[in-house]
Amino acid sequence: MRICVFGAGAVGSHFAVRLALAGHDVSCVMRGPHLEAVRANGLTLRAGEAEFKAEVSASDNPADLGPQDVVISTLKATGVSALAAGLQPLLRDNTAVVLAQNGIPWWYDIGLSAKHPPTPDLGFLDANSRLRAAIPRERIIGGVIYSSNEIIAPGVVANLSPDRNRLLIGECDDRHSERIARLRTALNEASIESPDVAEIREAIWSKLLTNMSMSVLCLLTGQTARGVRDEPALAEVIPRLLDEANSVAQSCYPEVKRVTRSGPAPAHKPSILQDFELGRAMEIDVLVRAPAAFARAAGLSTPMLDLMAGLAIRQARDKGLYLT
């Protein structure tokens, strides 16, 4: 397949190497020193003691790359507007667009099952409906990423989760389709786990549970996930916080597995804290505001989450990283 990874930072570069080495024609939309290094020397992935190198087409101008079979967007929610601006040259009639990001996606209500509770107004996730205009329903594939990576030098990405690298995918209306089956096969053959997913939004909430609670708590304390979990001063706080987060997720999908304080906690900083420390735009809307809107729509009392949301927004605004 011709596959373009749009926004190939750390995660996207990892996936690009895997897919290229599996025999696909892979291109990347990237920028800056990372782009220049890839043009000169190819793209390198380090995973444990192993090192993999792939030659991929790369440009900061999507028009250089031509029409694709699949576009996989690994842009953060704060940068996804670039997709609306740059996507058109990558499209042919049947090009699918995989939208893989943290939090509640802008397309959440598109193709939603009638059994789902009413959704709140999520218009703030897609200003002026630019994404809806650029990516019609028939192109949308939802995605959820589980993979920890970092760019350690321009053109070189290190995988920090060798035992857990997944891209869960599903149609926005959860139907079974030939293109989903074909793409899952391609991902699995490239050593990117992609098991069957019955409902893609349930998978979104399963990941969001941790991001909307523990990750935001990491932001407020400046600690790693493990540091927060093991902090004695937070021993009574975390269970109440997680109870509220579980209630919000289960108001939409009762089968979502509950997250508990005793669950696994990596000794690294979540992306929302990394963005704050590096002075980058933060995913406040998709990780904080949107879950809070779902809680209100469900009539749930979430004082812990509400307090954390207010503090997170204030903290981001004080550093000029959130302007809403």
- Strands 43-47, 50-54: pairing is antiparallel
pLDDT, tens only, 110-145: 999 999 999 999 999 998 999 999 999 999 999 999
Instruction: Please report, for the domain that includes residue 22, its CATH number.
Output: 3.40.50.720
Are 188 and 219 in a shared domain? no
Could you tell me if 307 and 172 lie in one domain? Answer: no
Considering 145, 171, 198, which residue would you say is the last residue of a domain? 198
Q: What is the pTM of this model?
A: 0.95
Q: What is the pLDDT of residues 50-92, one digit of tens each?
A: 999 999 999 999 999 999 999 999 999 999 989 999 999 999 9
| DSSP per-residue letters across 240-286 | HHHHHHHHHHHHH-TTSPPP-TTS---SS--HHHHHHHHT----HII
Catalytic residue among 76, 207, 269, 319: 207
Residue 295: CATH number of its domain = 1.10.1040.10
Q: Catalytic residue at 257? A: no
Query: Are both 57 and 157 inside the same structural domain?
Result: yes
Give the residue from 194, 200, 219, 223 showing the smallest Cα distance to 287.
Answer: 219
Average pLDDT of every residue of the chain: 95
- Residue 323 in any domain: the answer is no
Domain of 26 in residue numbering reads as: 2-198
Residues 288 and 164 in one domain: no
Residues 35 and 122 in one domain: yes
What six digits make up the tokens of 104? Answer: 């509640």
Q: Verify that 38 and 135 share a domain, yes or no.
A: yes
If one counts the domains in the chain, the total is 2
The terminus-to-terminus CA distance of the chain in angstroms comes to 40
Residues 170 and 21 both lie in one domain = yes
Q: Are residues 236 and 164 in the same domain?
A: no
**pLDDT at residue 266, as a whole number:** 76
- Are both 178 and 228 inside the same structural domain? no
Does residue 235 share a domain with residue 184? no
